Chain A
């Protein structure tokens, strides 16, 4: 071999080596090597499965996904089950297609009971093992267990939760003006009128824009009002279509919400007039509260992280801080709290021992406490110690969830068929706030309800 030939070989080899080294930095080698010795006594009951691996798909992305992965690292190291999580915002749209093609992940975190039902009807889901069911019975209420149950078959336990129906406000503004936290819906209305009368800004700020899902924050409003005005039984019949969508009770709830959302005096504080509801992104809509241009903002518990959009902790979320939330009150003073909320169901597409072991762990109080301690989320798992939650609001949310007096109902649009819950209900809200009357909107949504 001549020297020229040697040189020709040397360069590509050098390049390949450099690229190889650079790639090791991107891959998980280093993380694997630095896995410390953890105390595995907690995980002994699960046994060890050397070389087993489980893939998980879900809608959770970015920092939330990192925390999720962190929450099962110890379990993974102790049991030897490698867990590979892939988050995608298109997960809900793709999972049925993947399942039908036989390419679904082993486990799917499905955020909608309606979708669980559809996947079960397609025959793609593996019923939960006895261990998972035992955990569900021990750590979750009947309501929550029912969300993973289709036709009396239990397909999966819940994972995390969020509570909707918080009204965000500025505690200092309330104190200065001597406003009380409303205890009934009427008091909330009186408070709003009082702010309107004061005349220096509109009381509510609302944002419904959310890309292809524009309109969903408005469905939360309607669901909250249906649950409070018509009660839990009515709500259950509404989401299962035993009560039609254009029932007078639903119209009433819409009109009550319309008193705020379609009222030029009430919205849109610090943003503009009523027409800006559909252009204002849901993530930024509450921020005028910080400038005193708006006093009230209706959004779920997850909105806590949106106050500091840039990260950091400039805005303090606490009952004596810059902003805090109170639960949308019941209709009559002293009624027990009724809250709507959401969560994920841990479904399985692969029938394997290691998959069930992972599901068992995810439905245990150990995991729930692990994840809640990492911050930013809550779980309805009854074994969670509220004090583990990362903020005052989340502690309060867990206490609401664990209170036996609380009536909890899953977000209605997630329970309805996709044609309504992920399509016509959203677009109906958009039409409604941009001028259509209530009756024609609920009639259109009713007409879109699939026949089968």
Chain B
């Protein structure tokens, strides 16, 4: 690439931005000049249409096409082979089971630990620092976290020096080093720990803010009624932050269903640790079995759906209460 090319490329970017601005300007100008009759609808359409068109191109159409591909084999003939494969191949079934384990464990533990932590440090001295400590992993990318934890679980055979902290501890107590990431089923649990480590900070921050939003009158009234701390927590705090808990649980569940980078960096899906998103990529792009990949994507979509629906319903109810 020469400077000439570079300048050309920079000019292209600038031109693109200018054209974009011009189109938006024109659009707003014409909407402003829309006929009096039904102006609201003109404006509505004018502002919504670009976004709708982009969503249709980037989301709706690919989703429809993926659905079609899931019911086709490699030659394009209609068949249910992909789903047969998914529910009969031991490796594929294992992938589905692993994903279910992930979705059960990660949101539960991340939320529980986050909630407990938020309660314990509430109104303590140095609360901000305690929060920052737990929130920090959120700033690390999943791939980065995967690499960090790979070192934690690193294995060296018995007579060599352990560089993984977990095995170093085991050896220090006189045990034999363990191949953590290669031992099924403990390896899936160890990968789940990484995700919990990342997500706890998110749960803690959101729930901590919600706890602070509970009116002090309620807490004081409960105290006057002679409740102990646990009763106050059960009957005042938790109902007060129920909405936030649901949001945190559902958000983490969706993130967990999509988990791909942790598994790919740490075990590449070997040793029975694969999850749906990882297998989807492997099948569609590495094994060039687009149908199988699409079928897995469809299953992922079906798994996410009830969580989203539940989330929306809870939010609706809350709005009605208010």
Contacts and interface: CB of A to CB of B under 8 A. Distances in A.
B47 interface: no
Contact of B287 (A213, A273, A423, A430): A423
A94 B285 contact: yes
Contacts of A427: 91, 269-270
B75 A20 contact: no
A279 B181 CA distance: 9
Interface in A85-117: 92-94, 96-97, 115
A434 interface: yes
B45 to A, nearest CB: 31
B81 A451 contact: yes
Contacts of A130: none
B81 A96 contact: no
Nearest to A210: B268
Contacts of B223: none
Nearest to B92: A448
A273 B283 CA distance: 32
B75 A32 contact: no
A427 B2 CA distance: 45
Contacts of A213: 268
B1 A28 contact: yes
A23 B74 CA distance: 47
Given A214-B270, A427-B270, A419 B287 contact: yes
A447 B89 contact: yes
B90 A451 contact: no
A20 B3 contact: yes
B122 interface: no
Contacts of B3: 20, 23-24, 27, 29
B98 interface: no
A123 interface: no
A423 B270 contact: no
Given A24-B3, A27-B5, A97-B285, A211 B268 contact: yes
Given A23-B6, A430-B270, A452-B73, A279 B287 contact: no
A212 interface: yes
Interface in B198-227: none
A418 interface: yes
B170 to A, nearest CB: 15
Interface in B1-30: 1-3, 5-6
B278 to A, nearest CB: 9
Contacts of A29: 2-3
A36 B90 CA distance: 62
Interface in A237-290: 271-273, 275-276, 278-279
Interface centre among B2, B285, B288 (most CB of A within 10 A): B288
A275 B182 contact: yes
Interface string B278-295: 000011011111001000
A145 interface: no
Given A271-B157, A450-B74, A214 B268 contact: yes
A386 to B, nearest CB: 36
Interface size band for B = 20 to 34
A68 interface: no
A253 B155 CA distance: 30
Contacts of B1: 27-28
Given A211-B268, A430-B271, A451 B286 contact: no
Contact of B282 (A214, A423, A447): A423
A444 B89 CA distance: 8
Interface in B241-291: 264, 268-271, 282-283, 285-289
Interface in B86-143: 89-91
A205 B157 CA distance: 14
Contacts of B81: 451
A196 interface: no
A450 B282 CA distance: 15
A118 interface: yes
A272 B179 CA distance: 12
B283 A419 contact: yes
A441 B156 CA distance: 27
A419 B264 CA distance: 18
Contacts of B50: none
Q: Is the interface of B mostly helix, strand, loop or mixed?
A: loop
A422 interface: yes
A417 interface: yes
A215 interface: yes
A119 to B, nearest CB: 10
Residue among B5, B156, B285 with the most chain A CB within 10 A? B285
Interface in A402-435: 417-419, 422-424, 427, 430, 434
B286 A423 contact: yes
Given A29-B3, A422-B286, A422-B287, A275 B264 contact: no
B286 A418 contact: yes
Contacts of A448: 89, 91
A449 to B, nearest CB: 11
B249 to A, nearest CB: 31
A93 B321 CA distance: 51
Interface in A180-198: none
A266 to B, nearest CB: 16
B2 A28 contact: yes
A92 B90 CA distance: 27
Interface in A130-187: none
Interface string A16-43: 0000100110011100100000000000
Contacts of A451: 73, 81
Nearest to B290: A96
A452 B287 contact: no
Interface string B67-82: 0000001110100010
Contacts of A278: 182, 270-271
B85 to A, nearest CB: 8
Contacts of A276: 155, 157, 179
Contacts of B157: 271-273, 276
Interface of B: 1-3, 5-6, 73-75, 77, 81, 89-91, 155-158, 160, 179, 181-182, 264, 268-271, 282-283, 285-289, 292
Given A28-B2, A276-B157, A452-B73, 20 more contacts: A23-B3, A27-B1, A27-B2, A93-B286, A118-B288, A211-B268, A212-B264, A214-B268, A275-B182, A278-B182, A278-B270, A417-B287, A418-B286, A418-B287, A422-B288, A423-B282, A424-B91, A427-B270, A451-B73, A452-B74
The 5 A-B residue pairs with the shortest CB-CB distance in the complex, in nearest-first order: A272-B157, A418-B288, A423-B287, A93-B285, A212-B268
5 contacts: A93-B285, A96-B285, A212-B268, A417-B287, A444-B91
